A and B are shown apart, each in its own frame.
Chain A
Amino acid sequence: MRIKNKIFRQVTIGILIAIGAALYLIESLIFFPVPLPGARWGFSNLVVLITAVNIGLYETLMVSIGKSVVGGLISGRFGNIGFLIGLVGSVGAGIGMSMVHRVFKKNMGYMGISSIGAFLNNLIQISLISLVLKNELVFYYLPYMTFLGIISAFINAFISANIEGRFKEI
């Protein structure tokens, strides 16, 4: 979807950030079995996925930074180390998903892009934690996080594929 109207673009980004922040808040209340800072289910990456596939790279960056900052401010995690790790992970995943969509176009469906995004997010987060702690033992959690990431990637992809038709009607 090409958005030419400037105001329309700003409104769209604003709506997506608001939905993302709400999902961020809800998902931080759900129990996540991996005890690492910044590790969450990743349902709020739904809006990043929708933006990466349907709009563009610049908007994806705006949405992924925006939903983390607004969600962090509401949930009281702003400036926390877990918040910073989550922010970098979500921005990295957004760039990755946008690039993958640009390279593969129609050959890659929502599921592929979503699972690449989830894996990138986990990899970036664990690498950052490992850098901060100067210890490589945290990579122990990577396969478990990947497994949980595939589950939430499927949920995100399923919702995005069903939303797409209605999203274009706006």
Chain B
Amino acid sequence: MKLFGKYDFVVLSVIIFLMFFLLIVRIPSRDSLKKIAVEINGKESYIFDKNGIYEIKNNGKKLMTIEILDHKVRVLRSTCPDKLCVKSGWLKNSNAAIVCVPNRIVIHYKKFPDFKRSGIDAYTW
């Protein structure tokens, strides 16, 4: 079998189109880069909007330390084995998130008004 076949360019162009589609679909919302939310196990546990160094705890167990400076956030220390959340550095983009899978923590910018309390079950993006 050869390196390139008949349908290879079709497949490649579909994948590259999907890639650019996913890149373009996100529209950053500048006005929401204020509050930082920390989710533990899918539940929003903390909301921060002031500079400082904070500790994230779950059921009394210390999980990580985060630093907030000028509406940016980074993880200083974490108890997870790979420390990928520390390596990912400052979070600046409102569509991105700092993820720590072993601790089940997601740190992101709080975006919209809370739909869950307004009676809407789910929303897509």
Which A residues form the contact surface with B (CB < 8 A)?
Answer: 35-37, 53, 80-82, 85, 104, 106-112, 115-116, 119, 129, 132-143, 146-147, 150, 157-158, 161, 164
Which B residues form the contact surface with A (CB < 8 A)?
Answer: 1-8, 11-12, 15-16, 18-20, 22-23, 26, 39, 41-42, 81-82, 84-85, 87-88, 93, 95-99, 101-102, 104, 106, 108, 125
A104 pairs with B99, CB closer than 8 A = no
How far does the Cβ of B48 sit from chain A's closest Cβ, in whole Å? 17
Looking at the complex, which one of B1, B81, B82, B99 makes contact with A106 (CB distance below 8 Å)? B1
Inter-chain CB contacts under 8 Å: number: 116
Q: A139-B22, A146-B19 are in contact. List 4 more A-B contacts (CB 8 A).
A: A80-B102, A137-B95, A137-B97, A141-B96
Q: List, sorted by A's number, 17 A–B pairs whose CB atoms are closer than 8 Å.
A: A37-B82, A80-B102, A82-B101, A106-B1, A106-B5, A109-B3, A110-B3, A111-B8, A112-B5, A133-B104, A133-B106, A134-B41, A135-B39, A135-B106, A137-B99, A138-B97, A141-B96
- A136-B125, A147-B19 known; A111-B101 Cβ under 8 A: no
Taking CB atoms, residues of chain B closer than 8 Å to A112 are: 4-5, 7-8, 11-12
Q: CA separation between A137 and B37, bound complex, in Å?
A: 12
- A112-B11, A146-B18 known; A133-B96 Cβ under 8 A: no
Q: CA separation between A151 and B44, bound complex, in Å?
A: 37
Taking CB atoms, residues of chain B closer than 8 Å to A35 are: 84-85, 87-88, 98-99
Q: CA separation between A81 and B85, bound complex, in Å?
A: 14
How far does the Cβ of A2 sit from chain B's closest Cβ, in whole Å? 15
Taking CB atoms, residues of chain B closer than 8 Å to A137 are: 95-97, 99, 106, 108
A140 pairs with B6, CB closer than 8 A = no
Taking CB atoms, residues of chain A closer than 8 Å to B88 are: 35
B6 pairs with A108, CB closer than 8 A = yes
Q: CA separation between A110 and B4, bound complex, in Å?
A: 6
- A37-B102, A138-B97 known; A143-B19 Cβ under 8 A: yes
